């Protein structure tokens, strides 16, 4: 059965914004599973997403303190609809990222990551898909804040979309 996914990272609340944009909350409500690739910054965001998402998988990032690190793993793995997902906050330099991550995460079909706030969608030589949804609250050098949606369906990842997000408050 197709599973609707929402990919988030680098929410940085309440430092970059006070709340998540309404578009993010609508996407949370529509998703069967929400991935959050770290840099939550506050535990309240984890609590809010946990309470509202049908299912949430998260990891901690470099800006997350002891409380979040106690509650979340550095790396998360899940098999879903015949796809093997892994998630980590930081993957290092963009140079040779696909090759390095394929070596670091063997037997992974999709790697979700964050840290840069720069959206990324590529495929490694061996077929692993790498996805970074950007940030819904801090666009850095990007034209808009972003998140990603996708569908996991019978061993395929389809309908991957980078979604612009309205300004965070």
Nearest 5°: CA angle at 60, between 14 and 91?
115
Lowest-confidence range among 8-22, 42-56, 95-109?
8-22
CA–CA separation, 27 vs 20, rounded Å?
11
Q: Give 16 or 119, the one with higher predicted confidence.
A: 119
Q: Is 87 helix (H, G, I), strand (E, B) or coil?
A: strand
* Mean pLDDT of the region 153-167: 93
pLDDT higher than threshold 60 for residue 169: no
SS3 at position 77? strand
Amino acid 15: pLDDT: 85
Distance, CA of 144 to CA of 136 (rounded, Å): 8
Is-contact 37 60, C-beta < 8 A?
no
80-101 pLDDT, tens per residue?
A: 999 999 999 999 999 999 999 9
C-alpha distances (whole Å) from 115 to each of 3, 32, 88, 120 are: 25, 24, 9, 11
CA distances for 75 relative to 17, 39, 98, 153, angstroms: 26, 13, 17, 23
Contacts of 8 (CB under 8 A, 6+ apart): 24, 34, 35, 36, 37, 133, 136, 147
Rounded Cα–Cα distance for residues 109 and 130 (Å): 9
Summarised one tens digit per residue, pLDDT across range 38-77 is 999 999 999 999 999 999 999 999 999 999 999 999 999 9
What is the average pLDDT across 119-142? Answer: 95
Superfamily of domain 3-165: Metallo-dependent phosphatases (3.60.21.10)
Predicted TM-score of the model (pTM)? 0.96
């Amino acid at each position: 059965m197709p599973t609707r996914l929402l990919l988030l990272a680098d929410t940085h609340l309440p430092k970059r914004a006070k709340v998540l944009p309404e578009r993010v909350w609508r996407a949370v409500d529509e998703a069967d599973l929400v991935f959050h690739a770290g840099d939550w910054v506050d535990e309240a965001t984890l609590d809010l997403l946990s309470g509202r998402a049908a299912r949430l998988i998260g990891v901690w990032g470099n800006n997350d303190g002891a409380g979040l690190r106690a509650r979340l793993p550095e790396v998360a793995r899940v098999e879903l609809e015949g796809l093997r997902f892994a998630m980590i906050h930081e993957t290092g330099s963009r140079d040779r990222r696909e090759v390095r991550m394929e070596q670091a995460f063997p037997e992974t079909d999709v790697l979700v990551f964050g840290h840069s706030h720069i959206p990324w969608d590529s495929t490694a030589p061996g077929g692993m898909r790498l996805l970074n949804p950007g940030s819904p609250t801090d666009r850095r050098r990007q034209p808009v804040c972003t998140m990603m949606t996708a569908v996991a369906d019978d061993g395929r990842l389809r309908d991957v979309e980078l979604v612009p997000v309205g300004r965070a408050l």
